[in-house]
C-alpha cells in the first residue's frame, strides 16, 4: 500500500513541530528535572553531549528509515531486510506498551489542572493527596479516559488536519508558558523557619554548580547511563514513532536541519523545565528537597504552590496546562504508529482503526490504573526497583526493549544494510550530510557498544557482573 499525498506533513515546519511535539513530553517536564536535581551538573553536561552525538545519529536514522521506505515500523524493517522483520514487530510493540500507561499519567495531570481551577490547592499540598487520588477506583480512570479521548480525536483527523494542526498551536503555546514560568521562578524568594532567605537565582546557580564529593567510576557510569536512558525516552528514539513520522515527510525536506531543530526544541524545553523546578524546590526546600525523584512534580511542587498563595494558584494552573500540552502531543505520537501499522497490516481505514484502537486503550488504561488499587501488586523489577502495573509496562518498554531494539537497529544499518543506504536518502535532492564519516563510525562501532552496556545496566546484569 502506498501513501496518498494527503497523508504527508505539509512541509518542514509541520514535520518539525509535530516531531518536537512528540519529543517534548513528560520526559522533559517531569523526568529531566528530577534527574538533573539528583545527578547534578554532570548529568546536564553528559546529556547535552549525548544528544548532539548519539541522539543525532539515532534520531536521523529512525526518520530516514521512515522516509525512505514510506512505511511504519513493521513494514519498514521488512523492506530493509525480510529476515529482520521481527525487529520491526518488536519496535511496533514499544508504542503498543507505552500507550497503556502514558495516557494514565496524562490523566493525572488533567486532574491537577482541575485541582487548581477549582481552588483545591491546599488539599493537593497534603502528601497523601496524590497517593489517595491515584489509588481511588473511579476518578483516575475517568481522567485517563478523557485524556485518551482527546488523543484519539487528533489521530482521527489524520496527519495534516490532526497531528500537524494541533502541534502548530500547542507547541508555541507550550514554549510561551515554559518561558513565562521560568522567568517567574527566577524572581521568587523565601525565608525559612531558621531565618535563611533563598532566591530563585541562587537556585539557578546551585543547578549549575558541580556537586561536591569525590567522583568514582561507578557514580560516573550511573550518571552516564541515566543520561543515555533519558536521551532515548526524550527524543522518542527506537520506538517506531519517528519511523512513522518520517514516512510522512516529503522527499525534498532537509533531514539534517530538521533533526537539529527537533533536538533544539527538545533540549531547550528540558532546560526550561529544570530552570522552573530546581530553583523553586531550592528556594522552598533547600538542597535537601532535590532527592524527591519522581514525586517532585506531583507532591513537592503542589506543596510549594500552596505556600505561594494566589501566585501559586496561577503558576499551578499554567504549569499543569503546559504539562498537559506536552503530554498530549507526545501521546498522539504514540498512538499514531500503532494506528498506522494496523492500517498497513489490515488495510483498514484511519477513522475506524482509530476508534477501535482508542476503545481498546481505554480498557487497557483502566487496568493499568487499577494497578494502584484493586490490582495492586509489588513486583521486584530486574533493575532493583519495586513496581506496580504502570512501572512494569514502563520498565518493559523503556528499560528493556528500547536499548535492545536500538542495539540491533545499529547492527542492521551499520553491518547489513550499510550506512550508505541512510546517507543516500539524507542526501537526496542535493542536500548535504557533512558528518557522513562520523555517522558511519558511530552507528557501526560506538552506538552498539553503548547500547549493549545500557541494556546490561537496565536489565540489572551490569550490577550483577560488577558485584561479582
Question: Can you give the binding site for ligand PHE, defined by CB under 6 A?
Answer: 22-23, 25-28, 98, 233-234, 236, 239, 241, 330, 333-334
Q: How far apart are CB 325 and ligand PHE at their closest, in Å? A: 12
Contact (CB, 8 A) for 320 and 106:
no
Nearer to ligand PHE, 266 or 425 (CB): 266
DSSP 8-state class, residue 387: E
Which CB atom, from 238 or from 353, has the smaller least distance to ligand PHE? 238
* Cell of residue 373, nine digits: 488499587
**Could you tell me the smallest distance in angstroms from the CB atom of residue 176 to ligand PHE?**
19
- All three cell numbers of 413, joined, read 544499518
Closer by beta carbon to ligand PHE, 236 or else 457: 236
Closer residue to ligand PHE (CB): 330 or 459: 330
Joined together, the cell numbers standing for residue 224 give 552516564
Is the Cβ of residue 28 or residue 64 nearer to ligand PHE in the bound state?
28
CB count in 10 Å sphere of residue 136: 13
In the complex, the smallest distance separating the C-beta of residue 309 from ligand PHE, rounded to whole angstroms, is 31
User: How many Å separate Cα 123 from the centre of its chain?
Assistant: 29
Q: Which is nearer to ligand PHE, 27 or 246 (CB)?
A: 27
CB-nearer residue toward ligand PHE: 98 or 134: 98
Place of cell 528499560: 399
CA distance 60 to 79: 18
Chain center to CA of 51 = 14
Q: What is the dihedral of CA 293, 205, 210, 458, to 10 degrees?
A: 30
Please state the closest distance from residue 193 (CB atom) to ligand PHE, in A: 36
Query: Smallest distance, Å, CB 248 to ligand PHE?
Result: 16
Q: What's the Cα-to-Cα distance from 436 to each of 171, 414, 450, rounded to whole Å? A: 31, 12, 20
List CB contacts of 28: < 8 A, sequence separation 6 or more.
234, 266, 269, 270, 273, 326
To the nearest whole angstrom, how small is the minimum distance from the Cβ of residue 86 to ligand PHE?
21
The least CB distance from residue 270 to ligand PHE, in Å, is 8
SS3 (DSSP) at 127 = helix
Closest CA to 36 of 217, 278, 399: 278
Amino acid at each position: 500500500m502506498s501513501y496518498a499525498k494527503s497523508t504527508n506533513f505539509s512541509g518542514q515546519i509541520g514535520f518539525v513541530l509535530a516531531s518536537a511535539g512528540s519529543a517534548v513530553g513528560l520526559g522533559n517536564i517531569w523526568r529531566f528535572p528530577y534527574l538533573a536535581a539528583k545527578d547534578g551538573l554532570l548529568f546536564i553536561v553528559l546529556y547535552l553531549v549525548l544528544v548532539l552525538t548519539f541522539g543525532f545519529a539515532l534520531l536521523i536514522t529512525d526518520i530516514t528509515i521512515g522516509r525512505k521506505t514510506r512505511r511504519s515500523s513493521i513494514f519498514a524493517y521488512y523492506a530493509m531486510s525480510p529476515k529482520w522483520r521481527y525487529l520491526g514487530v518488536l519496535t511496533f510493540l514499544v508504542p503498543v506498551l507505552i500507550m497503556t500507561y502514558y495516557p494514565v499519567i496524562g490523566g493525572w495531570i488533567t486532574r491537577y489542572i482541575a485541582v487548581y481551577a477549582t481552588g483545591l490547592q491546599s488539599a493537593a499540598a497534603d502528601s497523601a493527596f496524590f497517593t489517595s487520588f491515584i489509588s481511588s477506583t473511579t476518578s483516575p480512570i475517568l481522567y485517563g479516559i478523557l485524556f485518551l479521548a482527546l488523543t484519539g480525536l487528533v489521530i482521527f483527523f489524520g496527519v495534516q488536519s490532526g497531528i500537524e494542526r494541533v502541534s502548530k498551536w500547542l507547541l508555541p503555546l507550550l514554549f510561551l508558558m515554559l518561558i513565562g514560568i521560568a522567568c517567574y521562578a527566577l524572581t521568587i524568594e523565601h525565608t525559612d523557619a531558621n531565618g535563611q532567605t533563598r532566591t530563585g537565582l541562587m537556585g539557578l546557580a546551585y543547578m549549575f554548580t558541580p556537586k561536591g564529593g569525590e567522583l568514582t567510576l561507578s557514580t560516573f557510569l550511573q550518571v552516564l547511563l541515566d543520561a543515555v536512558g533519558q536521551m532515548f525516552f526524550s527524543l522518542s528514539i527506537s520506538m517506531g514513532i519517528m519511523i512513522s513520522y518520517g514516512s510522512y515527510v516529503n522527499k525534498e525536506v532537509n533531514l539534517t536541519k530538521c533533526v537539529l531543530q527537533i533536538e533544539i526544541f527538545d533540549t531547550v524545553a528540558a532546560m526550561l523545565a529544570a530552570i522552573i523546578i530546581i530553583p523553586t524546590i531550592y528556594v522552598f526546600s533547600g538542597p535537601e528537597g532535590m532527592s524527591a525523584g519522581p514525586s517532585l512534580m506531583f507532591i513537592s511542587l503542589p506543596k510549594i504552590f500552596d505556600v505561594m498563595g494566589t501566585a501559586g494558584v496561577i503558576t499551578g494552573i499554567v504549569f499543569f496546562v503546559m504539562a498537559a500540552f506536552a503530554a498530549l502531543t507526545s501521546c498522539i505520537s504514540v498512538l499514531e504508529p500503532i494506528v498506522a501499522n494496523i492500517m498497513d497490516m489490515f488495510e483498514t481505514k484511519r477513522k475506524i482503526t482509530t476508534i477501535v484502537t482508542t476503545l481498546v486503550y481505554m480498557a487497557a488504561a483502566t487496568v493499568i490504573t487499577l494497578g494502584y488499587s484493586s490490582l495492586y501488586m509489588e513486583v521486584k523489577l530486574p533493575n532493583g526497583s519495586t513496581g506496580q502495573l504502570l512501572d512494569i509496562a514502563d520498565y518493559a518498554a523503556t528499560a528493556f526493549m528500547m536499548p535492545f531494539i536500538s542495539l540491533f537497529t545499529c547492527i542492521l544499518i551499520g553491518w547489513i544494510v550499510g550506512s550508505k543506504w541512510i546517507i543516500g536518502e539524507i542526501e537526496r535532492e542535493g542536500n548535504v550530510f557533512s558528518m557522513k564519516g562520523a555517522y558511519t563510525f558511530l552507528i557501526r562501532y560506538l552506538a552498539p557498544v553503548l547500547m549493549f552496556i545500557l541494556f546490561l545496566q537496565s536489565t540489572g546484569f551490569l550490577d550483577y557482573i560488577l558485584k561479582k
